[in-house]
Amino acid sequence: MRSRMIRLVFSGFAAFLILAPLVNAQSQKGHKPSTSEDAIHTLSRKDTRVPLGITPAAAAGLQLTMREHLEAIRDIVAALGQQDFERAAKVAHDELGFPKHHQAMQREDGATFPPKYHELAMAHHQAAEDLAKVIPSKDLRTILPQLDRTIEVCVACHRAYQL
């Protein structure tokens, strides 16, 4: 039962991760998805995200980091689905926590980001560190809400900023 619940939760999350870029790409090309009225309404709203206004080199570094963050979330979900809690905790710390922040800063070519962006980045890394700390409990009722908090900070940043 527990394994089935894990698979169901992670399957839904995986579907979200796969569909989100497609919906975003369609909205940028002027195509409207035919999935629901809510999706159409969402895509018809004006994009109010703040451009970061960074150099192309910094943007390339940031895009690489964002892809790695997405891959890390996928790896954490996969490890949790396999009940490999040690690997999930390691990925959360190494790939989403503060070690990744230091690597990202080097890639981003000395770019200056808005203070709010920096706050969100620090909140993301802290949430990931907190996730890494709760994963060894092997208690999904503790782990999944912290995973949700980690992802929510990602979502908040993507809602606020664009390259």
Read off the pLDDT of residues 85-109 as tens digits, 9 standing for 90 and up: 999 999 999 999 988 888 888 878 7
List beta partners, residue 161: 50
Of the listed ranges 35-39, 56-60, 128-132, the least confidently predicted one is 35-39
* 140 pLDDT more than 90: yes
Q: Which two tokens stand for residue 37?
A: 């009225």
Q: What pLDDT shows up at residue 82?
A: 98
Q: Write down the mean pLDDT value for the chain.
A: 82
Q: What pLDDT shows up at residue 38?
A: 58
List domains and CATH numbers for the chain: 1-47 (no CATH), 50-162 (1.20.120)
* 10 pLDDT more than 80: no
Using alpha carbons, select from 151, 147, 146, 144 the residue that is nearest to residue 120.
151
* 27 pLDDT more than 50: no
DSSP 39-106: HHHHHHS---PEE----HHHHHHHHHHHHHHHHHHHHHHHHHHTT-HHHHHHHIIIIISHHHHHHHHH
pTM surpassing 0.85? no
Q: What pLDDT shows up at residue 15?
A: 46
Read off the pLDDT of residues 40-87 as tens digits, 9 standing for 90 and up: 555 667 899 999 999 998 899 999 999 999 999 999 999 999 999 999
CA–CA separation, 98 vs 121, rounded Å?
10
